[in-house]
Structure 1
Amino acid sequence: MRALSRTSLTQRLTLMFALAASSVLLVLGFVIAASVEQHFEDLDMEVLSGKMELTRQALRTMTSHEALTQFTHQLAQSLVGHPGLEVMVIDADHSVVFATGNAHFSPEVVVSQATRAPGRPAFWALGSHTYRGLAAHIPTAALDSSGSPVKVYVAVATDIAQHTTYLRAFLKTLWLFVAAAVALTGVLGWAAVRRGLMPLRTMREQAQVVTAQQLSHRLPVQHMPVELAELAQSLNDMLARLDEAFTRLSDFSSDIAHELRTPVSNLMTQTQVVLSRPRDVAEYRSVLESNAEELERMARMISDMLLLAKAENGLVVPARETVDLAREVRALFEYYEAVADEKNLQLSLSAPSAVPVLADRLMLRRALGNLLSNAIRHANPDSCVRVTLAQASEEVTVTVENVGDTIAPEFLERIFDRFFRVDPSRQHGDGTGLGLAIAKSIIVGHGGTILATSSGAVTKFTIKLPVTPMLTPLTH
């Protein structure tokens, strides 16, 4: 089995093709040989049966021992012109009454055959000759002392040497032809398999072109056989996924380098300036406090990026429990109330008394908190941030909307990308640029969807989460 596993596909298919063809040819050879032999047997049996019936009819007219002598003379004359045909007549005492020149069969063998299997062909060997014969126990018209018909044993045989010689030569020719056909089938099968597997070699050559720098290369599908076309399409899909993952990884690395370069540069510059000359304690404290803020921002950014990396690779598995969205939104309103008061914003919730979903409480609160924080940050002063909860039979809809600058359609397509900011001037604000990306990852991880729209100075984020039955009753 291990040796077969190391055999090439061409060799395997050629071997299986040759074995299948050999089996068919061998079976065909045996059928032909059996048919020819049966044909010769039928010819012999036709002659032997005719002579046996002729002998049977003649014996029915024999009424005395003198008639038996006359019968033997008639039988000898009837065999003239039938070379190779031998006849033997044996009386009840197992004495040979009549026999042709070469009919030296053992009377016991003839009597046994006539008694055990009358009318069935048998093979008798005399020296170098082989005969096919029939034996029968035939009654005559003569009567014995008890008044019963006198019976004699009759054997009719024909020399099958000519048939045997022909059959031996025929079988030799047949098996030589079968051997040659098997060899030719193997060669033709190898050529056909090699020709048929040529698309596989083409796929291998094309696959060797694919490198980390050329992940966009695709295998040809149009001119492939149906089976290989499916394989090529699967490989192309795999390459597309690898290309997308590699692009995401490259973009992720670029984003990390870009976002961390500025705070690291600021820390280095501030530290170098402070160390350039002696300063008092207050100046050192001020610089250290500034550095601590930058480090905290970097720590949040790294933590957020780690969460996104896990989410994109399916490593975030929410610990689901029954969560009341209305209660969570009210709790977030209390948390962001001070920030909203600074801009004189009103926080409004429109929802049923309880909106239960099966979700990870902390992660879902983080997603809603990111959306609410984003809405407060970009809302116009003296406006209202509205959160609406609606429950249907199959899903729960959450909308967060604020009044502020309208987001252009081309920016809406990228608003959930990492580190993307509609206003570049806010590049160094308090946020890390990962809030919406994290919110989308959490919502998608819960089997939901999130969509952003913006028109007429109103920006709205819409979340749809699947509804599942409550597992535990909600408490208020």
Structure 2
Amino acid sequence: MAIIALGGPIGWFMARRALRGVEEVTRTAAEIADGALDRRVPARSGDDELDKLAQTFNTMLDRIQALILGMRQMTDNLAHDLRSPVARIRAFAEMTLAGGGSRAEWESLAASTTEECDRLLEMINTTLDIAEAESGAAKLRVTDIDLVDVVVDACDLFRTIAEDRQITITTDLPEHCRIQGDLQRLQRVVANLLDNALKYTPAGGNAIIKLADEGDLVNLSIEDTGIGIAADELPRIFQRFYRCDRSRSEHGNGLGLSLAMAFMRAHGGDIMVRSKPEHGSIFTVVLARSRYAENRKRGPL
């Protein structure tokens, strides 16, 4: 009888505790549905199933909130940076409608309009590529790649530009460096970083590319003797549409480094940078093969 007498209150207590945890999850979900994205389920340090549910639920909410904030930022950035190209296209159209010009002038306006449209499409497509990679929705076409070939092809592609700018490209590469990755995305990472190095290096400067295969780690560094980056600007250079003060005179939309970082994170890698004004910059791509393998097992985040 004593066991029965004790069993009733204990059972009621356990059931009440379980229901309280479910009620907290339900209440939090309702508040989030009303727009309170910063709300979280109170998590205890216990190890039962409800505590694990609360922790998993909060982790999911953190990711959802980050994605929503990223989408808002992307929308704001697009609205700001699309304004100028759209205004130029409108001006070209108004000049054409005004008439009175020669056929050559009309053809020039049509060519300018086409060029601005191409710039808009490139900006939009790049922004979508970044958003897809950052959200974990990008589907990598993973194949066996020799990273040495990727670097050599990029150097060949930019060789003429470097010669026109009187910049010397030098490389320090192993014979082979095989990794698993998405060829097109890795090509764009290397191309964007090398393009930046050439763009901000004055005539007579150098761009040095080094590749070190350290087993589980692969380090690709692209060093230049260019204008460098101020210390207070370094934390922001990977933000979408951000351009340093001294880079605004060069053509660009401020998306190249953001895209490179997003693609590297999708591969489980990272990009580090060291820079000093008037002395140049060193961008180092770090690919950890073990981390990439773990990312593939987990799937999209």
Considering the TM-score relative to the shorter chain, is it more than 0.5? yes
1:315 to 1:199, Cα distance in 2 relative to 1, 3 A: closer
SS of corresponding position for 2:259: helix
Q: How many residues get paired? A: 287
What is the CA deviation profile of residues 199-239 of structure 1, one whole-angstrom value per residue up to 9, with x for unaligned ones? Answer: 543553344322464211233336x8764444333332222
Q: Residue 442 in 1 paired to residue 250 in 2?
A: no
Gaps of 5+ in 1: 1-20, 26-180, 469-476
Cα distance in 2 for partners of 1:343, 1:313 equals: 38
Report the secondary structure of 1:316's partner residue: coil
- Whether 1:399 aligns to 2:217 is no
Shift of 1:191: 7.9
One-letter amino acid matched to 1:304: T
Q: Quickly say closer, same or farther: Cα 1:446–1:219, change in 2 above 3 A.
A: closer
Residues of 2 paired with 1:465 and 1:360: CA distance?
Answer: 13
Report whether the alignment pairs 1:247 with 2:89: no
Q: Name the structure, 1 or 2, with higher relative contact order (CA <8 Å, separation 6+).
A: 2
The answer as to 2:271 corresponding to 1:455 is no
Say if 2:198 is the partner of 1:356.
no
Tell me how large the CA RMSD over aligned residues is. 3.0
Q: Distance in 1 between matches of 2:127 and 2:246?
A: 20
Q: Residues 448 and 463 of structure 1 are in contact (CA less than 8 Å); yes or no, is this contact kept in structure 2?
A: yes
| Residues 190 and 466 (structure 1), Cα distance of their counterparts in 2 relative to 1, 3 Å cut | closer
Matches within 5 A, 1:332-351: 332-351=154-173
Output the TM-score relative to the length of structure 1: 0.54
Structure 2 match to 1:204: 26
| C-alpha distance in 2 between matches for 1:256 and 1:247 | 14
**C-alpha distance in 2 between matches for 1:214 and 1:455:** 43
State the identity %: 30
CA contact (8 A) 2:200 2:247 kept: no
Which residue number in structure 2 is paired with residue 297 of structure 1?
A: 119
Q: Distance in 2 between matches of 1:349 and 1:225?
A: 55
**CA apart distance, 1:284:** 1.0
Letter paired with 1:431: G
State the secondary structure of the residue aligned to 1:409. Answer: coil
* Alpha-carbon contact 1:389-1:398 (below 8 Å) kept: yes
Inter-partner Cα distance in structure 2 for 1:250 and 1:342: 41
State the distance in 2 between where 1:188 and 1:384 align.
76
1:297–1:432 Cα contact (<8 Å) kept: no
Q: What's the CA shift for 1:267? A: 0.6
TM-aligned CA distance change 1:398 to 1:276, over 3 Å:
same
* Pairing of 1:210-221 with structure 2 (within 5 A): 210-211=32-33, 213-221=35-43
Cα 1:275–1:402, aligned 2, differ >3 Å: closer, same or farther? Answer: same
SS where residue 197 of structure 1 aligns?
helix
**Map of 1:270 onto structure 2:** 92
Question: CA–CA distance in 1 between the matches of 2:14 and 2:215?
Answer: 61
CA distance in 2, matches of 1:220, 1:292: 55
Q: Secondary structure at the match of 1:252?
A: helix
Query: For residues 183 and 156 of structure 2, what CA distance do their matches in structure 1 show?
Result: 17
Which runs of no fewer than 5 residues in structure 2 stay unpaired?
291-301
Deviation of residue 461 (structure 1)?
A: 0.6
The whole-number CA distance in structure 1 between the counterparts of 2:23 and 2:76 is: 38
Indicate the SS of the match to 1:417.
Answer: coil
